[in-house]
Chains A and B, each alone.
Chain A
């Protein structure tokens, strides 16, 4: 196989595997902040127990997130050296800012979060938890800024020609607030909050089904369902604004999402189906006018089709693949709203606990955000093809020089990473299952060390 395909496969593999974990860290980080705040406020031991248990799950996801994240930072240089030379000015700055502002914050206070229970007072511990959570969010900010610049470049100029050409920053804030960065940041964060919340929901529902740790499970479920429902609803808003941004800034991508060939007013939204790429049409049920309405808040406005936005097939992304990924994400997104609303409603009424089918649904709901997050990222990145930097540099032009990095090199790395990641995933599932089976520690109902000092309010 050629280096381009292999390098893309390698990046997709390592990025997709990595992206199983950071959303969990971000989402569980929010849950930890909420739980610890509740503990500080009420002094109820159950919140302390919850904070301790979910911290352990958090630590597990964080470790793999860190270990697999550094791979991506290296890959830009190893596999995409031409790209790195081209965008170093812009992309590198965001990456360096991520290191300085996010990773140091996150990893520094993580020490206190994980090991500081007996060493610092409850307020300082809470502060550390907030800082870890903030750090995780900052890292999302900078990496999304960097990636969004690849989608909608802004605040730069091209200097030099041919192989010497490269993008240089002209306006830092225009680069940071490029047209898609804030929409995509919000969208990504909502997805991450969902990922974290539904882990809590899933594990708690399972305990309730098995009639184990019921107090713990009920309290956790309440926090999980609220965060899950709120973020699922926010995701709807964010999905809408993101799609409008894509319609405006990346018409080819939007047309690929919907398989829209012909520019049309009153453009239809296809609910599901497939793109018949040979005959350039989409097969499946559709709602007339909805795409125009969603993209522009006006059924009468035209949505640009592929024949106009990208007349040459070489300028189009893989259409059916993008279409399916996008629809998968949207479908699962609506499913999450439905599941969390249903769960919340029955939890509120107190009728959740004698509905095993609903509890089982909640147990499996943990997969939803993961599927949607993966599908969403794939849709965003595949939908940008054939560009690595939209409109500026093609993916095929971003590779390391073929005389330096051969297909054999890349293949070797793919084998190595696959083997290591398979092992990591197996270990992760094994340890997570073990933690869940073991359950929360009853000893954690009695805070120890400095946390048990009498200054704390008790109820």
Chain B
């Protein structure tokens, strides 16, 4: 296909954003359910939580894998700089994701108490760790990381753990916990369902506090992350949508419309990622303190030919992916019931 008239760098900036937003919306609730896992006490409840995400978590993680692959192909400089620069953080993220994955698979395969407890802790720690690290990575990208003229990271592991990235780490964790709690609410019934309602309120409070602090910190310390909105005030409507969506969550939960609460949570995520992308654009990684070394859609992109080929692949692939993702969620709709196949 011929895409010569298109600004392919921008298209891929958006597509990568879509992939990571998809990841946050989908695997976000898996990680959130994982983070809440240890709050449940009985084995049956833990199995219900696990089986709520059982059939879908694997497909959800593919959004991250594909996002990573797309980043590699479309913006190899970003992929190389960020992955080598965040070395230890990403190794920890991998270990956390591995534990999350195998804990889900292995936990219920043996009846022993110690066995199940070991994997429960692995599942929860893996989920919490992954959420925090993803948030910290996002925080660093927004705050800016030290890059030299060749686009190589010049900081250390510890320099990645600044207050703002850590704050974003906790905000991400809170967001995923809230998202996961709402998802679990949709998928459960009975006493666990009733108790989840209580947890959701706490999760919402935790998230709103983090969200408010992050917003203040961003406006105070990262003026560049609000520059586009200052220049084009109509973009403020996205921020309003974001806040309304968040405010709508407790309302829907209170009215017992769990599904709508989940949609609100998704809308809030889309709006947040949209704002993040708008303020970052055209940069993919901000350089701090040397803004001139930032990686953007010009200096980090693959050749237009490759971006065009990849766009063809995406145009063919995405509708198919969406079609069967929707079918899978449809097949496994409704409340979780434990049976012989369950985890």
Contacts and interface: CB of A to CB of B under 8 A. Distances in A.
Contact of A108 (B59, B65, B82): B59
B82 to A, nearest CB: 7
Nearest to A71: B94
B136 interface: no
Contact of B66 (A89, A103, A172): A103
A34 interface: no
Interface in B22-74: 54-56, 58-59, 61-62, 64-66, 68-74
B80 A88 contact: yes
A111 B102 contact: no
A120 interface: yes
A99 B66 contact: yes
B205 interface: no
Contact of A104 (B62, B91, B94, B306): B62
B150 A163 contact: yes
Interface residues of B, number: 71
A168 B306 contact: yes
Main secondary structure of the interface of B (DSSP, over half): helix
Contact of B105 (A60, A103, A434): A60
B192 interface: no
Nearest to B58: A107
Interface in B298-316: 302-303, 305-306, 309-310, 313-314
A78 B90 CA distance: 8
Given A66-B58, A111-B58, A115-B54, A434 B69 contact: no
B72 A96 contact: yes
B95 A416 contact: yes
A82 B77 CA distance: 9
Contacts of A105: 320, 324
B317 A100 contact: yes
Contact of A424 (B73, B81, B98, B328): B98
Interface string B153-184: 11000000000000000000000000000000
B79 A77 contact: yes
Contacts of B321: 100, 104, 108
B292 interface: no
A288 B68 CA distance: 50
B115 to A, nearest CB: 10
A64 B302 contact: no
B65 to A, nearest CB: 5
B303 A78 contact: no
B110 interface: yes
Interface in A55-111: 59-60, 63-64, 66-71, 73-74, 76-79, 81-82, 84-85, 87-93, 95-101, 103-105, 107-111
Given A78-B83, A100-B321, A103-B66, A112 B305 contact: no
Contact of A63 (B72, B102, B310, B327): B102
Contact of A103 (B65, B95, B153): B65
B324 to A, nearest CB: 5
A237 B264 CA distance: 57
Classify chain A: how many residues form its interface, as a range.
35 or more
Contacts of A42: none
A59 B342 CA distance: 12
B325 interface: yes
Interface string A106-145: 0111111011111110000000000000000000000000
Contacts of A101: 313, 317
A314 interface: no
Nearest to A443: B340
B341 interface: yes
Contact of A67 (B64, B69, B101, B340): B101
Contact of A95 (B69, B97, B109): B69
A207 B46 CA distance: 35
Contact of B72 (A91, A404, A427): A91
B341 A118 contact: yes
B105 A59 contact: yes
B228 to A, nearest CB: 28
B88 interface: yes
A310 to B, nearest CB: 29
A396 to B, nearest CB: 16
A115 B55 contact: yes
Interface centre among B55, B69, B82, B101 (most CB of A within 10 A): B69
Contacts of A93: 73, 306, 309-310, 313
A438 B2 CA distance: 57
Contacts of B54: 111, 115
B305 A170 contact: yes
Contacts of A59: 105
Given A77-B80, A78-B83, A111 B313 contact: no
B73 to A, nearest CB: 3
Contact of B69 (A73, A81, A424): A73
Contacts of B55: 111-112, 114-116
A92 B12 CA distance: 14
A405 interface: yes
A68 B95 CA distance: 9
A420 interface: yes
A174 interface: no
B256 to A, nearest CB: 26
B85 interface: yes
A413 interface: yes
A96 B70 contact: yes
B141 to A, nearest CB: 14
B80 A85 contact: yes
Contacts of A401: 84, 150, 152
Given A108-B327, A114-B341, 4 more contacts: A77-B83, A89-B303, A90-B306, A404-B85
Interface of A: 59-60, 63-64, 66-71, 73-74, 76-79, 81-82, 84-85, 87-93, 95-101, 103-105, 107-112, 114-120, 159, 163, 166, 168-170, 172, 400-401, 403-405, 409, 412-413, 416-417, 420, 424, 427, 431, 434, 443, 448
16 contacts: A63-B105, A73-B65, A76-B83, A78-B83, A79-B84, A84-B80, A89-B76, A92-B302, A109-B324, A114-B341, A115-B342, A400-B87, A403-B152, A404-B84, A420-B98, A448-B340
In order of increasing CB-CB distance, the 6 nearest A-B pairs are A88-B76, A77-B83, A92-B73, A99-B66, A111-B55, A100-B317
